[in-house]
Amino acid sequence: MASQLGSFVFFDLETTDLIGIKTPKITEISLIACSRKHLLDTKRGELPRVLHKQTFCLNPQRMIHPRASETTGLYNDLLEDESKFDENTAQLIVLFLRRLQAPTCLVAHNGNRFDFVILKKELESLNAQLPDDTYCVDSLPLFQALEQAREQKAKAAQENADNELADLELCALTAMEELEGSPSTLSLMQKRNETTPQRSKITENYKRALRSYLDITPSQDGTSSQRRSPPRSKRQLFPDDKSVMDPSSGADTPTTSSQKSAKKRFRLCDVHERLLGQAPKISHYAECDVKALLKCAIAEGPDFVAYADEHGVKFKDFSG
């Protein structure tokens, strides 16, 4: 983008069905907008005091799939007296967007595959267009990217901590060998080893394990040469017992944490629960879903805004 986004318009659609052979018709559309400043200034878990809202229930003039009705609570008999998505509806949306601080950005969860596709189809059927400075960004890949960045940052921090631990252990080993090499210490250790030979074996085993962990090879002159491996290939000196029993083989099989933990899901309710500690109280009511999405955006704050600035595309250029 050439400039920063001025406003964010979080929106959600309820429809007659999922996208299939025919594009679904809209039964409910909700838009809630706030300025960039108010989004960034709002505390986690709260909503901005200054919001602009627009919600319509629409007659789809098509049978609503029973599964969709059960999910959204919208049935054909409830909507039979409502207006369809027509020129007036399109004009109201355009006028709503023009009132906001430009440029504006539509934000929808899974918008690239659903909300943006359906809204654009409806507008094109009426030869209507949103303002030229209207952008759009899908919050699904946005939250995926931010979560991945967090995981990479945590992994890097852990590797740095491992490196610091290895450095400390290297210093300990070096000090141990220097101490053992002094004449007074050699004499004392010789006397102790004569009475407790097992202690020498334990000490040597510990040093061997420590050298192996640090990837250090003793040289001919008795000093140690260091061959530090990259952090990713480093082994634990005393590995945690994290193996699990494989029921098919009956043997202990090492399992990584990523294998043990379920793959993260990025439905709006999942993102909301991770960021705010609880799932939304109500889902699949368009306005409730929009508020949940807005709260997730506020929880991400500057990272959300930065991603939208970088990845937002003009709605008129969106092709699905």
Other C-beta atoms closer than 10 Å to the C-beta of 18 total 11
Instruction: Of 280, 259, 281, 257, give the one whose Cα is nearest residue 269.
Output: 280
Could you tell me if residue 216 is inside a domain?
no
Could you tell me if residue 160 is inside a domain?
no
pLDDT (tens digit, 9 = 90+) per residue, 17-71? Answer: 988 878 999 999 999 999 999 999 999 999 999 999 999 999 999 999 999 999 9
The rounded distance, in Å, linking the Cα atoms of 186 and 5 is: 72
The rounded distance, in Å, linking the Cα atoms of 136 and 69 is: 28
Could you tell me if residue 261 is inside a domain?
no
Q: Tokens representing 262? A: 């379920």
Q: Is the dihedral of CA 241, 244, 245, 251 positive or negative?
A: negative
For the segment 110-126, the average pLDDT, to the nearest whole number, is: 97
Q: Tokens representing 217? A: 């090879």
From residue 84, give the alpha-carbon distance in Å to each of 106, 115, 122, 151, 278: 22, 17, 11, 45, 36
What is the count of structural domains for the chain? 1
Could you tell me if residue 233 is inside a domain?
no
Could you tell me if residue 204 is inside a domain?
no
Could you tell me if residue 185 is inside a domain?
no
Q: For residue 155, is pLDDT > 90?
A: no
pLDDT (tens digit, 9 = 90+) per residue, 174-226? Answer: 766 666 666 665 566 666 666 555 555 556 666 666 666 556 555 555 555 55
CATH number at residue 90: 3.30.420.10
Could you tell me if residue 282 is inside a domain?
yes
Could you tell me if residue 106 is inside a domain?
yes
Provide the domain limits for residue 118: 7-143+266-317
